[in-house]
Each structure stands twice: as C-alpha cells, then as structure tokens.
Amino acid sequence: MNLVQSQTRYAAVILVIALLAALFVAVERMRVEHRTQRVEIAMDYSDFLSLARSYNYKPEAFLVELRRAGLTSLALQEELGAGINTGQNAYVSSGVGILDNARLSSVSDPTLAALVRNRAILPDEIYVLVYDKATYGRYMQQLPLHFSRGSIRVLHASPPWVIAVRTQIDYFGQISLGIPGDQLALAKKLGLFVVPRLQNDERLQGPQIAAAFDALRHRARITTVVFFGLRNQILGFPDHIKETAAIMNDRKLTFGAIEVYDTTQVQKGNDELAKLMPGRTVRVQAIAKTEQDKLKFEEIAARYLLGARERNVRLVYLRPFSHEHNGLSIEKTNIEMVRQIASGLRARGFTEGSAAPIPMYRADSVVPVGVVALAVPSILLILLGFFGWYRPWMAVAAYAVTILLYAGGYLTHHDLLARSVLALGGALFFETAAFAVLGRAFTERPAATTGEQIVRSLRWTALATGVALLGALVVIGLMSSPLLMEEIERFRGVKAVLGLPPLIALALYFLTDRFGAKIEDPRDAFNTPVRIGQLVLGVVILAAGALVLMRSGNQSDISPSAFELSLRSGLTTVLSVRPRFKEFLVGFPLMMLLPTLVLAHRRALGWLFAIGIGIGIGDLVDTFSHLHTPVYISVIRVLLGAIIGCAIGAALVAIYRRLFLRPA
C-alpha cells in the first residue's frame, strides 16, 4: 500500500535524507561496538583469599593458574578498621579494652605494658599496634584523610609502632585504610591489573580524593575503579563528585558502573559520576554470593557470557565458586570457570584485557542526530496525508516544533531528554505506518493456492516489518549515545513503544476506513450488547497487556517463571541469540495468517488480529530500543524471530486453508 500522497512528497524526500543520516549513525555505532570488544575478568581478592585459606590452597600458586586460564585482574578492597585484626601486620584495640585487660592480668605486649604503666592509655581513644613498616606508612597516610591531625598521636615511633586515635572503636571499624601494599605487590608480580575498590567518606575533598588514587598508581596497573562501602556511595558523594570525575579523567582511569536489577541498589552518585566521565565508563557484572550459591556452574558462566555479548558488560567481576564441578576440586573448578569464560569470550569475538569503555564518537553529535530528528515530522506528515488529514500548515508546525525541541534540548543541556521525546514520537509514528500498510491485507481475497498465499503473506509481512524497522533505525539514530549504550541514561519511552501500538492498531482498525471494519456511528457501537464470552476475552487481553508491560525491560516488575527461564536458556543455547516470543509466536504468525482468512473470519477476528499484529510491530521496534544491546545482536534477534515466526505462520496458513478453504 502506498503511504506517500502527492501533497507529502517533499516530506518523503526529507524522510529519505533523515533515514540516510540514521543509517550513518547506526554504521558508526556498530564500528564503535566492534572496536570496544576488550573484556576484563577480575577476581574479588577478599573472597578468593577466604576460600584459599579455608581449603589450605596456596594463594599465589592458585592465582598463577587462574592467570593462565584467562584472569586479567584482581579486585582489591581497601582495608577497613574492623579487618585489621584478621591480618598479621597490625592489631587494634580500644583504650577501654586495654585498661580492662590490664586490671585482670598483665599486658603481654611490652610496648603496651609500658604505655599502661605510664598512664598513656586513655579510655576515649583506640590504639593500633603495627608490626610492619609498610603498613605503618600506609596507616599514617590514610588516617589524616579521615581524622583531624590533632586526634592522631604516635606513641611509639619504632617497631612495634603504636598509633593512638581519638575516636570510638565501632566508628573506626568502618574507616577505610587503603589497599594493603602486599596485595598490590602480588598483583604486580603476577602481571595482573588492579581493580581498586575504594570506599567513600563524605568529608573527603579534592586533595584527599586525589591522594587516595595517587597512593596506588605507582604501585600497580590500575584499570577500572569500582567503589564499595556499607552506604553504597561513589567516592566524593554527595558534594565532591565533580572533583572525583576530574581526578579520574586526568589520570585516565575508567569508572565501573555496577549493573543492578533493582534501582534501590544503584550506588549513590553513580549516574552523576558517569555523566561527568563521557567515554570512560564501563558496565560491571557481578553475582552476589548468596545468589551464586544457588546457581549451577554452567549458569554462572553462561550469565557472564550473555552479559558481555548482549548488554555491553566489559568487566566480569568474579567471586570464587565454592562447589565442586564434574569431580574437580574446588581449586580446579574455579580455574575451569575462568577458562570457560575466557574461551567463551574469545569464541564470541572478544579479547581479554583492561575493560574497553564506549568512547565519544563523531556520529553522536549535533548535526547528524539533528538530521535524523527530521524523520519524525516527516513520517507524521506522510501518515496524515495517507489518512486524508493533511493540511499545509501542519508541515510548518511539525518541522518547527521538532527544530525548537531539539535545539532547546541542547541549549538547556537536556539534549538526551529531547532526543528521547523525538525518538518516542518517531517509533510510534513508524509503528502506526507499519500497521497502516497492511490495510489491503485486511480486505483482499485469499489466493487461489496455498503456495501463492504463502508468498503473498510473506510480501505483506516483509512490508510491515520493513516499515517498523525504519522506525527502529530512527530510534538508533537519535539515541545511540555512550551514556545510553552503557545504560547510565535510559530511553524513557521503552514501555510506550511496546504498549501503545496494539491500542493504535485497534483504533485505526475501527475508526478509519482502511481495514474494512470502520464504525460509522460510535453511539451504535457503544449501545451494542456485549456477550459474556466477549467480556471475558476483553478482560484476558487487558490482563495480558498489563503483564507484557510489567514484564518489559531489564528491571521488570514481575520475574519470569522457571519454565520460561528454562525455555529462554534453551533457545539461547540452540540459537546463540534468543528471538523474542512476542515476535515469533504472535506478530509474524498473525501477519502471515491474516491475508488468508475468509471474510466471515476477518469480521469476527479482525480486531484480535489488529491487536496481535500491533504487539508484534511494537516488539520489533522495542528490540532496538534497548540501547545497551549491540545493534548486530538486535538484528540477529529480529532475523531469527522472522524466520521462525514466518515458518510458524506458513504452517498455520496451510492448516487453515486445509480446514476452511477446501475446493468445492
């Protein structure tokens, strides 16, 4: 069906130009995605060390084997005050504790005993005994970052060093004291990158934040910085995030934004820091220990590989697996897991190394994206002309509103919001056009033979799919920004892209004359008696629609069932990229079956087909609206869905014709 009318031919010319600009952006984005295929595989050293000590494994030899298997990095966490007594280099106690012990028995440590005798131990201080020179130097560097210098006293300036700090023991237990030097030295010796895990202290300002980073840089190869802490904050939160960003940018460090499925778990300051570090942010995927204990070996490896391939994860954050696998020891099991993840990444075209962030690139700039934006008013005008609603003044208004919105977004530094609005409009208009081109399929007579009918159905399906994919191309052209590809910013219209097309399709079906079912008098339609079966079907459709919307997105309100998860896993295993159910089970089969229906069935079921086809069309565009998924993965997903869906549709066409179109 020809969408373009004579009065909208100029809009069609502008649309072609805008689509070419969108294609340019898409190609450039795919080049960038191809160049950023380096993935970092890091092991949490604290958990690793606990496991190694539990099973009497030699940590260094264990790490050597992990390095050979593909491990690239060690994630080293700052030592907390509460963790001092778990090591051998220092000991901490409160003044009250030392004095109480002295009343009950003699103090065994001669240095402390002398301090007790000289009444140098005060109940409102804590005391750190340090037996290692490097550890003493680190503490004296870190303590002034968290306490005033007047509250820190060195009571014994030779081994064992004694440091007194005026504070409470429980508060001191939460203070970070830097990354131990022996851990940094071990990483350097083994040729491993270091992923520093730094904790925030809200009192830290620019100089102290810079000192925290500089204390590490000359001692290890730092790559991606991942923050931690009980308060789940970015270093510098809330008032000094700009200083943190400037320091990290100046030192060419990469920020690791941890992928979460619950927005309440996002680190405070995460998005602000990422926006201040364009082109220097990567996605980090980790599995919590409590969840990992419930997963099988294969599930863990598959999840990390899926994240790298389909969600732009560039730092795989591992915790040791504490169960045996296939008769291997726990040590060999962890080595095998790293080997499988590394080999799986290589098989998918990735390389191991420091995490590669998505950089700023030339296509994500004002001019090309601005040209793409002109596709939105153009397709709107073409639709208006198609339905006979076009007026010349509408062209001036549509292009003026688009230009003002786009320019206003950049001038007010809300360009991604403006682009999201335009992308949503473009997606919905192209989805409307994709359904509109099927108008004649709702009214034409079935073909004479099954083979001819399948070919005809394929043509209609290809036409509607092609128009919908042009809408997806516009979304890609408008929204392919590194912040969206790293899912720091999100396309706010995703649920509308998926949820509105069925309603739009239903409205077009009943309110226009293009589908052979126009309601001439709405009052008669509202006064028509409703049967119980129709009411039940309507409730089921509404419930299904609500479920689809609630299930959409990575942070969906309802988790999939165990059966669906198993089915998804099976499809991913067989096809490598899983096609979407709404496409190959709903949209494509219904598009194929529609033209073969007899007139009576079209009148009875046409509205239901309109809803189902609307769901499929919406899902096609929605597939490309998840900007963190590489373009080529979305293309493969749609292609597989089309092949399977059309095959199912062809089978349904053959069955239907055999049942209802038998020759007389």
Looking at the structure, do residues 493 and 560 belong to the same domain, yes or no?
yes
User: Is 136 within a domain?
Assistant: yes
Residues 6+ apart with CB under 8 A from 268: 231, 232, 233, 234, 237, 238
Helix, coil or strand: residue 445: coil
Looking at the structure, do residues 552 and 625 belong to the same domain, yes or no?
yes
Q: Are 542 and 467 in contact (CB under 8 A)?
A: no
Query: Across all residues in the chain, what is the average pLDDT?
Result: 89
Distance (Å, rounded) from C-alpha 489 to C-alpha 275?
A: 9
Asked whether residue 537 carries a pLDDT value surpassing 70, the answer given is: no
Q: What is the DSSP letter of 293?
A: T
Strands 161-165 and 152-156: antiparallel
* Helix (H), strand (E), coil (C) string for 91-122: EEEEHHHHHHHHHHCCCCCHHHHHHHHCCCCC
> How many CA within 13 A on the CB side of residue 21?
26
User: Is 1 within a domain?
Assistant: no
Note the pLDDT of residue 214.
85
Note the pLDDT of residue 546.
58
Please give the structure tokens belonging to residue 75: 């994630």
Asked whether residue 64 carries a pLDDT value surpassing 60, the answer given is: yes
> How many CA within 13 A on the CB side of residue 109?
20
Task: Count the neighbouring beta carbons within 10 Å of the beta carbon of residue 177.
Answer: 23
Nearest one of 605, 607, 604, 595 to 661, comparing CA atoms: 595
Distance (Å, rounded) from C-alpha 611 to C-alpha 632?
A: 28
Note the pLDDT of residue 664.
44
User: Is 580 within a domain?
Assistant: yes
Residue finishing a domain among 172, 205, 222: 172
Looking at the structure, do residues 328 and 289 belong to the same domain, yes or no?
yes
Strands 73-77 and 126-130: unpaired
Number of structural domains found in the chain:
3
* Helix (H), strand (E), coil (C) string for 188-215: HHCCCEEEEEEECCCCCCHHHHHHHHHH
Please give the structure tokens belonging to residue 112: 């402390």
Q: Using one digit for the tens of pLDDT, what is the confidence trace for 626-663?
A: 999 999 999 999 999 999 999 999 999 999 999 987 65
Residue finishing a domain among 143, 172, 201: 172
Distance (Å, rounded) from C-alpha 514 to C-alpha 227?
A: 58
What pTM did the predictor assign? 0.88
Looking at the structure, do residues 512 and 400 belong to the same domain, yes or no?
yes
Note the pLDDT of residue 311.
92
pLDDT bucket at 406, cuts 50 / 70 / 90: very high
Looking at the structure, do residues 125 and 98 belong to the same domain, yes or no?
yes
CATH number at residue 281: 3.20.20.370
Q: 195-199, 263-267, 525-529, 565-569: which range is least confident on average?
A: 525-529
Looking at the structure, do residues 182 and 162 belong to the same domain, yes or no?
no
Report, as an integer, the average pLDDT of 242-256.
Answer: 94
Q: Using one digit for the tens of pLDDT, what is the confidence trace for 272-323?
A: 999 999 899 999 999 999 899 999 999 999 999 999 999 999 999 999 999 9
Task: Count the neighbouring beta carbons within 10 Å of the beta carbon of residue 108.
Answer: 8
Please give the structure tokens belonging to residue 270: 């995460």
Distance of CA 97 to the CA centre of its chain: 48
Residue finishing a domain among 141, 172, 203: 172
Looking at the structure, do residues 410 and 287 belong to the same domain, yes or no?
no
Does the bond joining 238 to the residue before it have cis omega, within 30 degrees of 0? yes
User: Is 625 within a domain?
Assistant: yes
Sheet holding 126-130, edge to edge: 90-94, 126-130, 161-165, 152-156
Note the pLDDT of residue 660.
87
Report, as an integer, the average pLDDT of 44-58.
Answer: 95
Range of the domain at 115: 85-172
Give the gyration radius of the chain's Cα atoms: 31
User: Is 230 within a domain?
Assistant: yes
Residue 49, Cβ density class (10 Å: 0-12 exposed, 13-18 middle, ≥19 buried): middle
Q: What is the DSSP letter of 81?
A: G
Residues 6+ apart with CB under 8 A from 196: 76, 78, 179, 216, 222, 225, 226
Note the pLDDT of residue 175.
92
Q: How far is CA 381 from CA 112, 195, 404, 467, in A?
A: 85, 53, 17, 15
Residues 6+ apart with CB under 8 A from 14: 374, 375, 378
Note the pLDDT of residue 501.
94
409-421 per-residue burial string, b: 16 or more CB within 10 A, e: under 16? beeeeebbebbbb
User: Is 368 within a domain?
Assistant: yes
Looking at the structure, do residues 299 and 437 belong to the same domain, yes or no?
no
445-478 per-residue burial string, b: 16 or more CB within 10 A, e: under 16? ebbeebeebbebbbebbebbbebbbbbbbbbbbb
389-406 per-residue burial string, b: 16 or more CB within 10 A, e: under 16? ebeeebbeebbeebeebb
Looking at the structure, do residues 544 and 607 belong to the same domain, yes or no?
yes
Looking at the structure, do residues 147 and 205 belong to the same domain, yes or no?
no
User: Is 111 within a domain?
Assistant: yes
Helix, coil or strand: residue 174: coil
Q: Are 633 and 577 in contact (CB under 8 A)?
A: yes
User: Is 437 within a domain?
Assistant: yes
Helix, coil or strand: residue 449: coil
Distance (Å, rounded) from C-alpha 297 to C-alpha 367?
A: 48
Q: Using one digit for the tens of pLDDT, what is the confidence trace for 154-205?
A: 999 999 999 999 999 999 999 999 999 999 999 999 999 999 999 999 888 8
N- to C-terminal Cα distance for the chain? Answer: 32
Q: What percent of the chain has pLDDT over 70?
A: 92
Report, as an integer, the average pLDDT of 612-632.
Answer: 94
Q: How far is CA 363 from CA 369, 383, 411, 435, 600, in A?
A: 7, 28, 19, 31, 51
Looking at the structure, do residues 325 and 398 belong to the same domain, yes or no?
no
Note the pLDDT of residue 508.
93
Looking at the structure, do residues 389 and 336 belong to the same domain, yes or no?
no
